[in-house]
Structure 1
Amino acid sequence: MSLKEKITEDMKAAMRARDAQRLGAIRLLTAAIKQKEVDERIDLDDAQVQAIIDKMIKQRRDSISQFETGGRQDLADAEKSELAVLAEYMPAALSDDEVRAEVAAAVASTGAAGPQDMGRVMAVLKPKLAGRADMTSVSGLVKSALAKG
């Protein structure tokens, strides 16, 4: 079963269970998927769907921090519930040690010598770690690894 099919089945289950919050989050996700398919006239595969989910997760995290800063805990809680639903469709996250090991392996495999090689290292890491690690923190780890080397 593809990821899109799983999302559709989960939407049907949420409708049957009358789980309004879960249903709302899944409908937002399906709308984003359909929008991308219509805009680009393609049928998305699992990797492209995960990229959409990852983008939506980043948006939710940003919104949560802004709502908490602004003292709107009610809105932050709503975003957190959407974030939890979206996170279910992503692959298991890597631990910090696993991410560091991937960064070290990528630096070694590309022969990166300094900060000017960051693009090459990130090009190797992005397909491996997309959706499984926060790419902002990965970028920071690559910078520090290249600064040492």
Structure 2
Amino acid sequence: MSTLKERLRADLTTAMKARDELRTSTLRLALAAVKEAEVSGKTAHELSEAEVEKVLNREVSKRREASEAYAAAGRAEQATREGAEGDVLADYLPKRLGDDELAAIVEKALADGDFAGPRAIGPAMKAVQAVVAGRADGAKVAALVKARLAA
């Protein structure tokens, strides 16, 4: 079992004992998403640490999108709740890269791979994503890579 999954379970128990409703419900949903990912597909399997992180990243993105949608619809209370759930889950993920760090990683990966021109966007994205490994938003990475290769 991955250590992240064990940590989620242990923190769920702690949150339940502390009667922290937000944390309890958020961790239950996260563990349910992990379990769903484990049993999806042709055969059930135990998720690796990286796969659990990927599931949590997806859940954080869902919460951010829902928060924005609720805010746009004028439902501030729901937007705040979704944002708080996203913050709880984000605590379990690696620290996000800053804009300067991300730009430096993109520059280095493009220089190392000797990518040039718009046709190299696909392979360049693959190289950058391997280094970034879920620590930055994919859309932000894609925008940086496209801007750099189009110039």
State the Cα distance separating 1:60 from its structure 2 match: 1.1
Relative contact order higher in (CA < 8 Å, ≥ 6 apart): 1
Q: How does 1:96-107 map to 2 (within 5 A)?
A: 96-107=99-110
State the Cα distance separating 1:91 from its structure 2 match: 0.3
Indicate yes or no: 2:52 matched with 1:49: yes
Deviations 1:126-145 (A, max 9, x none): 13213211111111000000
Counterpart CA distance in 2 for 1:4 and 1:23 is 15
Deviations 1:6-25 (A, max 9, x none): 11110010011010110000
Q: Structure 2, unaligned stretches of length 5 or more?
A: none
Aligned to 1:3: 4
Aligned residues: 148
Aligned to 1:84: 87
CA root-mean-square deviation: 1.1
Q: How does 1:101-120 map to 2 (within 5 A)?
A: 101-120=104-123
Counterpart CA distance in 2 for 1:56 and 1:45 is 17
Taking structure 1 as the reference length, what is the TM-score of the superposition? 0.95
Counterpart CA distance in 2 for 1:36 and 1:113 is 37
Deviations 1:51-83 (A, max 9, x none): 001111111111111111110001101101100
Which letter maps to 2:66? S
Q: How does 1:26-41 map to 2 (within 5 A)?
A: 26-40=27-41, 41=44
Q: Percent identity?
A: 38
Taking structure 2 as the reference length, what is the TM-score of the superposition? 0.94
Aligned to 1:137: 140
Moved more, 118-127 or 23-32: 118-127
